[in-house]
Structure 1
Amino acid sequence: MRKPVELDPDVDDEAPAGNDITPYDEQHYVTYLRLLDAKTDGADWNEVARIVLHRDPIGDETLTRRCWESHLARAEWLSRAGYRRILEQAVAAGR
């Protein structure tokens, strides 16, 4: 049975790093897509942080900016190279 897609999950202070797709990544695919869409649309990072990441850039700008940057970087990695890892891991798991 497939897990339902989470449309608006809470996020950690920083996204994962490295070359493996993590359970966190799987839970946040929609978050990553929303971040990429916002970047394409030229949206202000403060607004994106509030809406997509549930963060308050006014309350803690430094932490919020780091959270936004790390999640956007992870989204960009997934769109460039990480998607290959998704396919490789799925094949390895026999899905």
Structure 2
Amino acid sequence: MTSAIPLIGGIPAGPELLIILLVLVLLFGANKIPKLARSTGQAMGEFKKGREEVEDELKQMQEGDLSSGTETEATETTEATTEDDDLETEKESST
């Protein structure tokens, strides 16, 4: 039987990783690689910070919608109670 050979390999390890690192050093130079890694890390940090801010804003908007609905119900209940009190006061004054 023949075994299936994947067309796309997995994560490079061993000699493949060494060759990739050697090519990177030749292309960018030894001085540029730490700068590239640092800027990549800063970009990832900024992205994470922005994502968290958006998530917080969405949560605040959802909580605002829920609390505004509760406030509306509370206001309606208060208005109904005030109207009932006014009617009772009118009845008492007429008798």
TM-score computed with the length of structure 1 as normaliser: 0.26
Rg bigger for which structure?
Answer: 2
Query: Relative contact order: is structure 1 or structure 2 higher (C-alpha 8 Å, sep ≥ 6)?
Result: 1
Higher helix share: 2
